Structure 1
Amino acid sequence: MEIDVLAKRLRQCRRERGLTQSEVSIFCDITEKSYQYYELKRREPKLSILVRIADFYGVSLDYLVGRTDQKC
């Protein structure tokens, strides 16, 4: 996984929807600090968390990790 792409796309998806990191973390059942670390490239999320985030944003896992530029 390209962590730079993941961080960029997480931030982009969140901003497109006008959400805070706190709002995303609540839905995904993770701490706000964990989500911040994903956007700051300090940590890589587990697959189960990535799936929850992708579902929340309505995008594919491939999009989040940079394997495609198509969101769905």
Structure 2
Amino acid sequence: MEIRRLRDLREDHDKSQKAIAEYLNMHRSVYRRYESGERETPAWVLDKLADYYHVSTDYLLGRTDRPEPYPVK
């Protein structure tokens, strides 16, 4: 996963790790480990973050450089 993207998106939205952790209903230290790459980010977290930042999960995973979410069919 492109771990730098999680931090960059958070900082671009002027959010703290604590604020994102609260949105995900977890402790800040758990989110910090996802952001630093110490822990693998679960699919449900990627899904919620993609919705929160309005990007695709592929963008979060580093599979594309296009942040736009896929159109709903």
Residues 34-49 of structure 1 aligned to structure 2 (within 5 Å): 34-49=30-45
The Cα RMSD (Å) is 0.9
Which structure has the bigger radius of gyration?
2
Unaligned runs of 5+ in 1: none
Counterparts of 1:46-61 in structure 2, within 5 Å, are 46-61=42-57
Query: Structure 1 segments of 4 or more deviating over 3 A?
Result: none
Gap regions ≥5 residues in structure 2: 69-73
Q: Which residue of 1 aligns with 2:61?
A: 65
**Distance in 1 separating the partners of 2:28 and 2:16:** 9
What is the TM-score of this pair, normalised by structure 2?
A: 0.86
Partners of 2:40 and 2:62 lie apart in 1 by: 14
